Amino acid sequence: MNLRTRSIILLILVAAIIIIPLTMYSGLGEDQGYFGGSDDKPGAYIESHYNYQPWFQPLWEPPSGEIESLLFAVQAAIGAIILGYFIGYFHGRSKCKDDEEDW
């Protein structure tokens, strides 16, 4: 199998992986229980079935969900930058050691 045939097969597989779920769940949303987040469900269940009292209240709560999402995205970006820096640093350091051994 040559490279062109392999590339075409892989592109077809990627397209199928994208298209099949979109057609299977077309029109179904959070109303039917699909694609709904599970962040609030356990907390609501515990609060309704047990006599749960929170231990403390948050110091600051974001004024809207958009700001909360923004802060989460900024936190994720900072973590990705730090992780990427260290991965690049250690990769460069090992490459430098390999180059020194070749001399």
Question: Do residues 71 and 61 lie in contact, with contact meaning Cβ atoms separated by under 8 Å?
Answer: no
Q: Running along the chain, 103 residues long, what does each successive block of 10 average in pLDDT? A: 92 95 72 64 79 84 88 96 96 82 64
Give domain status of residue 99, yes or no.
yes
Task: Supply the range of the domain harboring residue 68.
Answer: 63-103
Provide the 10 A C-beta neighbour count for residue 62: 13
pLDDT at residue 58, as a whole number: 84
pLDDT at residue 87, as a whole number: 96
Give domain status of residue 2, yes or no.
no
Give domain status of residue 44, yes or no.
no
Report DSSP state, residue 31.
G
pLDDT at residue 14, as a whole number: 97
pLDDT at residue 46, as a whole number: 81
Long-range contacts formed by 67-76: CB under 8 A, 24+ apart:
none
What's the CA gap between 13 and 19, in Å, rounded?
Answer: 10
pLDDT at residue 73, as a whole number: 96
